[in-house]
Amino acid sequence: MRKSPRSSLSLALRPAAVAAVGAAALVLPAAPAIAADTEDPAAGPQSRLVLTMTPGLHSPGSEYTLECQPPGGTHPDAVGACAKLSAAAGDFDKLVPTGAMGCQGLHDPVTVSARGTWLGGEVAWSKTFGNSCEAITATNFVFRF
C-alpha cells in the first residue's frame, strides 16, 4: 500500500505539533495560578500591628510586631494574642481583662499602644495604666512581651 503525500506530511508534522501542545500546556496554567494567588478573596485581609509599651520610670520599653491570618511577627505569643484579638473583634477596649492579683502596689505608669491594620481597617489605640502588670492583665496578656 502506497502512502499518499498528504499522510506523509501529517506524520512529519506530528512531533512538532505534540511539542507545541506540550510547551503550551507548561506555560498556560502558570498565568491563572499567579492571578489566583493575588486575587483570592477567600484568603481575606491580613492584620499587621505594632504593639508598644512605653515605660514609666522603672519599666523597660519594648516594641513587637503582631501579624494575624496567619499568626506571626516578633510577638512571643502571636497565636494567643491573635486569638484574643479575634475574640474581641480587633477592638483593644473589648479585650477581656484577666485577674490583676498583685498589680496594685506599684505606681510606675506605662502606656501601651497598637497601630497598624486589623482585617483591613486602620488601628490607632493607646492607653496608660498604673504599671506594666496592670497593662498586661487589662489587655488579656496581649501586651505581655
Cell numbers 500591628 correspond to 49
**Nearest Cα to 47, choosing from 108, 120, 123, 125?**
120
In the CATH scheme, what is the code of domain 44-138?
A: 3.30.350.10
User: What confidence tens digit (pLDDT) does each residue in 33-89 have?
Assistant: 444 444 454 554 589 999 999 987 666 689 999 999 999 999 999 999 999 999 999
Alpha carbon distance 110, 113 (integer Å)? 10
Domain ranges across the chain: 5-39, 44-138
Overall pTM surpassing 0.75 (yes/no)? no
